Structure 1
């Protein structure tokens, strides 16, 4: 019996260190688990804190970018008033250009030499034309027709996008496919142009007729209200859209040519953003010059048969259709009159048609 008890005591003494070691290992495991949990918690908190800081930095960057964009892009109202103010300041040039489009030349042509050294007849430049108007009507006379012209520009700028906004037709942004962007944006821009022109054209007709009164010294279209009554009395509501179709064809033609050729050039030559802008500007200028005769036709039709001297013989034939006007202008070589307002050469065809019954008042 004593030997059994002694053996048990020896076994217990031998097992005690093992139990203490196992307990220490378990305690270390618990400490390690707690430390791991605390480390994971700290890592989660650090990641969350870093995410919040990153979001804050992104918001600050977006705010700064929006602020920079706001600084880069002028206020829309400011741009509108600057545009109207610039149009008012430059109105005498537009006034002289309209009279040139109508074919009124009160000053004689003079002989001079061209860039190639050839003897050519030159019509007075726009500055000589403006001086003549100022000498006749004074400084205030340079701004005849300014009121309806400002109304025409303002109504077109403010209301041209009303129809596309009404139907919810939005413009596609640059990330879209080029072909899809062209197919979607070109008709949308065409609707904007047609809407703006339809709203502003009645004021354009009034403005042209007011400026055309300089030729015969009439006073029928002196005020906008009087002009409205006169047009309604003579031609009815359709009189406000005299010359509308050639101007519409011209503007839509410029849009189609510019958009199509720009899309082709951008696709074939892989132009950069700044190169695309310059390319579009050049293409637009070429399209405007190509279709400029329709602008002349629009001005002539807005004045033809209106009761002012500039729209009747001997200054201008009375045209029934705008096609007749375009054909007649091309036959006379007058379809580009007013396109160049500084160095204006008299077409040879005009110089040879001295005995034309409708000489468009070329006082040579």
Structure 2
């Protein structure tokens, strides 16, 4: 009996162990399950941080750009209005600059010394020019040709991008090869320049001739309607595009220089990003000064051979082609007249003629 009891106790102990094992979990299985749960959480976390697909990356910037364009429209309008207001305020300076480009000098040069202490002949500054115009025509005379200039600027701002928008030629931003992107944006910018100048240049011709009437005191181009009728009667529709080619070459040259140097910077990072804004201003100024003689030629050709005295001898020769005008200005040293409006020195060619007894007027 005792032996059976001992066996019963053993059986009961084994049964208790089995029940205990059934209620507990193997530590190895527990660790494996925890590791599996951790891997699942890691996968879910990685899926949450996973970058978007290419289609999402392509569609999202388009929507953002569209929203930015919609939000930027009022800002563009206010910027345009501010620019027009500033242009109206500074119109007397533009008026004097046009007369300088045409070669009209109503006041004699004065002898003074330059920064190096050398004696130099200085032409009247832009402020002396403005005071002279105000003395002749009054305060309202300082704004001669303003309406035509506003029309020219407005047409350029409104219709310069009409052709590229019509054909859907959009600006590319880091979606192609750098050279292809540069070439595409350069061609697009060239189309914008050509379109804007083609639409706005007739008003530029009218404004230049209205300002040039100050020289001979004409009244032919006093009104917009009279100016259009006079140009059509004298030279036909092509008369509205006198001086168009040099101005176009000037703007395209400036666009090429600035776009090329900007592409070189973006590709090779020649300058630091915080200094590029200042360097871009210097590059823009250098490009404008490089092609400034073409701007002078454009103003002269817009007036040459017209019904105003400023476009005929003795104030200006009558040029058949714009290249003849450019060569003549370079030969006389007048291809940069009007570029510096505050300290204007007399060209050396004119100074030599002033001291030459054979060319000096009696």
Q: TM-score, normalised by structure 2?
A: 0.79
- CA deviations 1:53-108 (Å, max 9, x no partner) are xxxxxxxxxxxxxx999999981111111111111111110000000001111111
- Specify whether residues 117 and 99 from structure 1 end up closer, same or farther in structure 2 by C-alpha distance, changes over 3 A only: same
Distance 2:23 2:266 in 1: 73
Instruction: Tell me the equivalent position of 2:234.
Output: 234
Instruction: Tell me the equivalent position of 1:106.
Output: 106
Instruction: Tell me the equivalent position of 2:333.
Output: 333
Instruction: Tell me the equivalent position of 1:180.
Output: 180
- Specify whether residues 363 and 126 from structure 1 end up closer, same or farther in structure 2 by C-alpha distance, changes over 3 A only: farther
Q: By how many angstroms is 1:156 displaced? A: 1.2
Larger deviation: 252-261 or 300-309?
A: 252-261
Larger deviation: 124-133 or 171-180?
A: 171-180
Larger deviation: 215-224 or 277-286?
A: 277-286
Instruction: Tell me the equivalent position of 2:275.
Output: 275
Structure 1 portions without partners, runs of 5+ = 53-66
Q: By how many angstroms is 1:191 displaced? A: 1.6
Distance 1:73 1:27 in 2: 72
- CA deviations 1:249-297 (Å, max 9, x no partner) are 1111122223334444665663222322322322222222121111000
Instruction: Tell me the equivalent position of 2:62.
Output: none
Larger deviation: 157-166 or 133-142?
A: 157-166
Distance 2:279 2:74 in 1: 24
More relative contact order, 1 or 2 (CA 8 Å, 6+ apart):
1
Instruction: Tell me the equivalent position of 1:224.
Output: 224
Instruction: Tell me the equivalent position of 2:195.
Output: 195
Q: By how many angstroms is 1:165 displaced? A: 2.0
Instruction: Tell me the equivalent position of 2:55.
Output: none
Instruction: Tell me the equivalent position of 1:152.
Output: 152
- Specify whether residues 17 and 261 from structure 1 end up closer, same or farther in structure 2 by C-alpha distance, changes over 3 A only: same
Distance 1:71 1:190 in 2: 27
Aligned residues: 334
Distance 1:270 1:180 in 2: 20
Q: TM-score, normalised by structure 1?
A: 0.79
The answer on whether the counterparts of 1:262 and 1:276 sit within 8 Å (CA) in structure 2 is no
